[in-house]
């Protein structure tokens, strides 16, 4: 279940975004305080301010609307 809207959950979002600098830090990547289970829509809204785009963790749309790795 999505923690924000109750829809079927899809993605574990990290509140503190994963970066190359902290990806090996379990206090960030595995800390439940830092995790939020979201549906695709809420996750996209969190990252992109819109529920329109459907992208997976680690992927994003660039300025041209092309799917790229974050």
Give me the residues that bind Zn ion (CB under 5 A), please. Answer: 2, 4-5, 7, 13, 39, 42
Closest separation in Å from C-beta 43 to Zn ion:
5
Q: DSSP letter at 50?
A: -
Residue from 7, 9, 5 nearest 37 by CA:
9
Give 26 or 58: the residue with its C-beta nearer to Zn ion: 58
Closest separation in Å from C-beta 66 to Zn ion:
19
Closest separation in Å from C-beta 14 to Zn ion:
6
Structure tokens at 70: 């974050």
């Amino acid at each position: 279940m999505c923690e924000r809207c109750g829809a079927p959950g899809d993605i574990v979002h990290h509140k503190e975004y994963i970066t190359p600098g902290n990806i090996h830090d379990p206090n960030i990547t595995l800390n439940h305080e830092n995790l939020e289970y979201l549906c695709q829509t809420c996750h996209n809204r969190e990252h992109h301010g819109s529920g329109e785009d459907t992208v997976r963790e680690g992927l994003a749309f660039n300025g041209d609307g092309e799917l790229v790795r974050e």
